A and B are shown apart, each in its own frame.
Chain A
Amino acid sequence: EVQLVESGGGLVQPGGSLRLSCAASGFTFSSYWMHWVRQAPGKGLVWVSRINSDGSSTSYADSVKGRFTISRDNAKNTLYLQMNSLRAEDTAVYYCARVEWGSGPPNAFDIWGQGTMVTVSS
């Protein structure tokens, strides 16, 4: 079965750090560009970041640039999101998602994880 499973969410104080993981299975992970998308409680979906197949190219939303780092370990079939200098407005469910046609600009996100909740609060 093709699936993505996120982990690593939790409660963190403002200014703190957290690393999210997204474990992939059932497909050739190293062939796919991957993205992170978040959703604040009661709000809409917001794109966060993307990484290409071999990890050599990344892109970020302005709201997280300089604070978040996306990476991947193709040997472990795992995607990561390192989140530093966290703010209250980063509180959200974080989803990892696969690009449908594999590589390049996303034509669609066909596989999503179940999400992991990050709460930034003192």
Chain B
Amino acid sequence: QSALTQPASVSGSPGQSITISCTGTSSDVGSYNLVSWYQQHPGKAPKLMIYEVSKRPSGVSNRFSGSKSGNTASLTISGLQAEDEADYYCCSYAGSSVVFGGGTKLTVL
């Protein structure tokens, strides 16, 4: 199972919005609404930010939103803040396994 494709890096200034894409195939992202997104700060465990494509766990800021179209899912962060600087990973169910994206490093300028 190949990893989902994410841009290696994105950047934005405080207050701006950014979008991270996550491209899979018809065997994973395209077939299931079981896409989730994780934020990971250096040396820390991943934290769930979005699940089932667009749902937000309790306690996660509404500045984070998710969507999906075909084989591509997206994470949008609006009103960028310094603490949003981290690595972000998408994840999808893939039938009998799970596949993650390669990760995107978000830099807040």
Please, which residues of chain B bring their CB within 8 A of the CB of A61? 1, 97
Q: Which of B11-19, B75-83, B99-107 is the contact stretch?
A: B99-107
**Cα distance A113–B100 in the bound complex, in angstroms:** 18
A47 CB contacts on chain B under 8 angstroms: 97-100
- Which residue of chain A lies nearest to B87 when distances are taken between CB atoms in the complex? A44
Q: How many A-B residue pairs have CB under 8 A?
A: 65
Contact B100 A45 (CB under 8 A): yes
Range of interface residues on chain B?
A: 20 to 34
Take A105-B34, A107-B36 as given contacts and tell me if A62 and B45 are in contact as well, using a CB distance cutoff of 8 Å: no
Check B51 for interface membership: any CB of A closer than 8 A: yes
The reply to whether A109 and B48 contact each other, CB–CB distance below 8 Å, is: yes
Contact of A110 with B by CB under 8 A: yes
- Confirm or deny: A114 has a beta carbon within 8 angstroms of a beta carbon on chain B: yes
A110 to B37, CA, bound (A): 11
Contact string against A for B residues 10-49, beta-carbon threshold 8 Å, 1 for contact and 0 otherwise = 0000000000000000000000101010101000011110
Report B71 CB to chain A, min CB distance, Å. Answer: 18
**What's the interface size class on A, roughly?**
20 to 34
Structural contact, B48 and A108, CB atoms closer than 8 A: yes
Quote the shortest CB–CB distance from B80 to chain A (angstroms): 22
Q: Which residues of A contact B40 (CB under 8 A)?
A: 45
Name the A residues within 8 Å of B1 (CB-CB). Answer: 61-62
B34/A109 in contact, CB under 8 A: no
Q: Which residue from chain B places its CB closest to the CB of A115 in the assembled complex?
A: B45
Interface residues of A in 24-53 (CB under 8 A from B): 35, 37, 44-47, 50
Please, which residues of chain A bring their CB within 8 A of the CB of B32?
Answer: 105
**6 cross-chain pairs, A with B, having the tightest CB-CB distances, nearest first:** A108-B51, A47-B98, A108-B36, A44-B103, A112-B45, A45-B100
In addition to A44-B103, A61-B1, 4 A-B residue pairs with Cβ atoms within 8 Å of each other are A37-B100, A106-B36, A109-B91, A113-B45
B residues near A (Cβ < 8 Å) are 1, 3, 32, 34, 36, 38, 40, 45-48, 51-52, 57, 89, 91, 93, 96-103
